[in-house]
């Protein structure tokens, strides 16, 4: 295994991480922004106000896209296991 293989594996792992974490992080960011704007307009300074909407939003994203996330991860692991003989043999 040379440096090119290691860089390819690391790049693939980072891209898979971005694909899986992206929807969750974007929904959390959007909900946080909306709740912060609501708090600044109404001058409600409750710290725990963002927790419940973010929790509901993240649960909804996981419910709707969980199957897609799992299938992406399974396909990536199958690809890694398929590359295993060529990585060990070199």
Where exactly are the structural domains of the chain?
A: 28-89
**What per-residue confidence (pLDDT) applies to 90?**
58
Say which residue the tokens 């969750």 belong to. 24
11-18 contacts: CB < 8 A, separation 24 or more?
Answer: 12/76, 12/79, 12/80, 16/72, 16/73, 16/76
- Highest mean pLDDT range out of 1-15, 34-48, 54-68? 54-68
- What percent of the chain is predicted at pLDDT more than 90? 68
Let me know how many helices (H) and strands (E) the chain has, helices first.
2, 0
């Amino acid at each position: 295994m040379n440096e090119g293989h290691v860089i390819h594996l690391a790049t693939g792992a980072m891209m898979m991480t971005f694909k899986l974490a992206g929807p969750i992080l974007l929904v959390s960011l959007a909900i946080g922004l909306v709740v912060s704007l609501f708090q600044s307009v109404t001058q409600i300074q409750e710290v725990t106000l963002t927790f419940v909407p973010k929790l509901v939003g993240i649960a909804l994203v996981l419910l709707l896209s969980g199957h897609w996330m799992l299938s992406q991860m399974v396909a990536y692991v199958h690809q890694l296991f398929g590359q295993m003989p060529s990585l060990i043999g070199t």
